[in-house]
Structure 1
């Protein structure tokens, strides 16, 4: 996924980002800053546009 490519995000994530972006613009943020904040917030909450797990294995407690 190239930088700025939003194709791997779900429709829900795209809607959330759009709502956050509009909210930030209403607070006086520039369109570019509003978009940056919106996608950063979606990434923070959902881990980005990933469709799989984090890539980390669960901790093995069988020892």
Structure 2
């Protein structure tokens, strides 16, 4: 999977990233910065792409 490929994320994670990006854009950030911050936030919360069952980290 190439860097930047978002196909391994769940629909919920993608929606979260869109929401964070919109919020950052409202604060005056550039599109690129807002997108970078959004995906960093999703990764920090969820640890990255799809994770389910026994492969999931315990929180």
Q: For this structure pair, what is the TM-score category when the shorter chain's length is used for normalisation?
A: 0.7 to 0.9
Give unpaired runs (5+ residues) of structure 2. none
State the SS of the aligned residue for 1:17.
helix
Please name the residue that 2:56 is paired with.
53
Match of 1:35 in 2: 35
Decide which structure has greater helix share.
Answer: 2
**2:4 paired residue number:** 4
1:16 maps onto 2:31 in alignment:
no
Q: Whose radius of gyration is greater, 1 or 2? A: 1
Mapped to 2, the partners of 1:5 and 1:53 lie a distance apart of: 21
What number of residue pairs does the alignment pair up? Answer: 54
Query: Deviation above 6 Å: which 4+ runs of structure 1?
Result: none
Two-structure CA RMSD over aligned residues (Å): 1.2
- Name structure 1 gaps, 5 residues minimum: 55-63
* TM-score, normalization by structure 1: 0.79
Per the normalisation by structure 2, the TM-score is 0.84
